[in-house]
Structure 1
Amino acid sequence: MLNPQWLRTFAHLVELGNFTRTAERLDLTQAAVSQHIRHLEEKLGPLLIRRPRKIDITPAGKALLDYCAELLQAEQRLQLKLDGADAAHGDVSLISPGSIGLAIYPLLLDLQQSTPGLVIRHRFAPDSEVLNSVLENRYELGIVSLKPDDPRLQSSLFSKEPLELVVPASAQVSQWQDLQRLGLIDHPDGRAMAGRLLSRQFPGNPGIQSLPVHGFSNQIGLILEPVARGLGFTVLPRYARKAFTRQHEIRVLECGTPVVDMLWLIHRAEWPLSARALRALDFLQDRIKSSI
């Protein structure tokens, strides 16, 4: 039987492509990493081709990497069999984009308060990180804005979320020049979201590039702070707007035909969800539907 520590070292080395970084991640010496690989190659033959700035994997190395992945999946399935049937104890792990995260995290805490045996583990992340985290079994559940086509993932519609044009409560906005006067409070997806939505309300507008930027924040919970202070407008998903505590200081403008994004729940397709994950989903979906 191959030493599990050797296999772990090999998998991390292939991922990182560097002996030094692998040693740092695993809290080993570089000599220990080299030794683990040498032991594996003595048993299995050449696994890696070492080049000055990168590492290539041989066919035998690819087969071993697949074997490592199969072992990880088997361990996950075993863990689910051991503790997945308990709906009242253990981790509920979910990773999601920021806007929907602002809506569901307080609800998950409500669930934890009513079921103290549960431990809520939630992370805010973009779609790409959500996909990787679920595929690598770091989180059991994920929410993404684009439905994946990976056969390893099962996806289902979780919710719908319109984009909203949000202005200061006292602002009068009826034409493009009013937005130019206010200025855009930008965020990582701000220009893309504004372009999609404002074309509905202001057809033929001179373009997002004509709007001055009066601020930027990458903290989704703070994007509406400058809007509330009258410093500009922004375009955000609805759940982010609803999470803002001072609703009386902002106003949502109707923009004709709504722009609605679909939010997809994802999890690994190869094994069933744990009982606690199913409990959390039932809890969330009932409350999200009633809040729309």
Structure 2
Amino acid sequence: MLQPQWLRTFEALVEIGNFTRTAERLDLTQAAVSQHIKHLEARLGPLMLRQSRRLELTPAGHALLGYVHEMQAADQRLQQRLTGDDATQGELSLITPGSIGLAIYPHLLALQHEAPGLSIRHRFAPTAEVIDAVLDNRAELGLVTQRPEDPRLAVSLFAREELELVVPASERVQEWDDLARLGFIDHPDGHDMATRLLSRWFPGNPGVRHLPCRGFTNQIGLILAPVAEGLGFSVLPRFAREAFVASEAIRVVEGSPEVVDSLWLLHRAEWPLSARANRALKWLNARLVSPQSG
């Protein structure tokens, strides 16, 4: 029998890719993390190759990771059966991109205040990871910005989200040279989003890569902090801008045409949503802008 703690350590190490940070995440010593992996490898053979900058799973490592996910899914199904299909009790798990995640999380907390028996587990992740988590039953609900075609997934339109050009409150942008003067605050999706919006608003421009970059952050909630400080402009989704606390220090530039992303709701197609998930979706739909047809 494999010890659950060894499996938790292995899963965390695969996710994080570093022994020291894994030990910090799990509140263990680095020696304990190494010992857990040695115990597993004594039973199963080599699980990972220690490269200089990353860890690479062996076939046995991939098999064990799949086993861990299967055990987690089975445990989740067991917990749901034990608590019954009660909309006020049990775990609600969902995984979303950062922007919509910032928008819905306060509403989820309000739902939990109304139903304290709920335990809400919300993770931020990119589209590929969201799809994998729903397919592996590590999350009951997922939101993505690109519609998947996998037949195992039930997919429906959840909301639409405009891309916005956001500048310091004191700035006025009328032409490309104004953006070049300000400089770009980049983020992981920054170049893609800026290209899609600015190519339509400023046709013939040389491209966002020709603008001076004034900063970069991969934290969705912090992208607008340097903009609020007057250090540059950025392009990001509306929900991320609405969640920014210092709204008086920034300004959304009006322009056309609109560039809008669709947000798609995912869950496994083979079985119905739990009462908890249905309640959460009704709660969120009543508090977010309803999706438009088309």
**TM class, shorter-length:** 0.7 to 0.9
- Cα distance in 2 for partners of 1:219, 1:73 equals 29
Q: Describe the SS at the equivalent of 1:221.
A: helix
Q: Say whether the 8 Å CA contact 1:84–1:276 is kept in structure 2.
A: no
Structure 1 residues 173, 116: closer, same or farther in 2, change over 3 A?
A: same
Matches within 5 A, 1:34-183: 36-37=43-44, 55=58, 77-183=77-183
- Cα distance in 1 for partners of 2:108, 2:132 equals 22
Deviation at 1:130, TM superposition (A): 1.2
Give 2:217's aligned residue: 217
Deviation at 1:69, TM superposition (A): 8.2
Give 1:208's aligned residue: 208
Give 2:192's aligned residue: 192
- Cα distance in 2 for partners of 1:54, 1:222 equals 33
Q: Describe the SS at the equivalent of 1:112.
A: helix
- Cα distance in 1 for partners of 2:141, 2:86 equals 17
Deviation sequence 1:69-102 (CA, Å, 0-9, x none): 8887666545433334111011111111110011
Q: Say whether the 8 Å CA contact 1:156–1:264 is kept in structure 2.
A: yes
Deviation at 1:275, TM superposition (A): 0.8
Structure 1 residues 27, 112: closer, same or farther in 2, change over 3 A?
A: farther
Q: Mind listing any 5+ residue stretches in structure 2 that lack a counterpart?
A: 20-31, 50-55
Deviation sequence 1:256-275 (CA, Å, 0-9, x none): 11110010111112222111
Q: Mind listing any 5+ residue stretches in structure 1 that lack a counterpart?
A: 39-47
Deviation sequence 1:113-161 (CA, Å, 0-9, x none): 1111111211111112211222222211111111111222211111000
Q: Say whether the 8 Å CA contact 1:197–1:255 is kept in structure 2.
A: no
- Cα distance in 1 for partners of 2:232, 2:67 equals 54
Deviation at 1:106, TM superposition (A): 0.3
- Cα distance in 1 for partners of 2:132, 2:33 equals 18
Deviation sequence 1:15-72 (CA, Å, 0-9, x none): x7xxxx9xx8897464x5467559xxxxxxxxx9xx9x97558xxx99x999998887
TM-score by length of 2: 0.77
Give 1:258's aligned residue: 258
- Cα distance in 2 for partners of 1:166, 1:136 equals 37
- Cα distance in 2 for partners of 1:161, 1:25 equals 42
Q: Which has the larger radius of gyration?
A: 1
- Cα distance in 1 for partners of 2:58, 2:173 equals 57
Alignment-mate amino acid for residue 163 of structure 1:
L
- Cα distance in 2 for partners of 1:139, 1:68 equals 14
- Cα distance in 1 for partners of 2:216, 2:225 equals 11
Q: Say whether the 8 Å CA contact 1:77–1:271 is kept in structure 2.
A: no
TM-score by length of 1: 0.78
Q: Describe the SS at the equivalent of 1:93.
A: strand
RMSD: 3.5
Q: Say whether the 8 Å CA contact 2:159–2:291 is kept in structure 1.
A: no
Alignment-mate amino acid for residue 88 of structure 1:
T
Counting aligned pairs with the same residue, the percent is 57
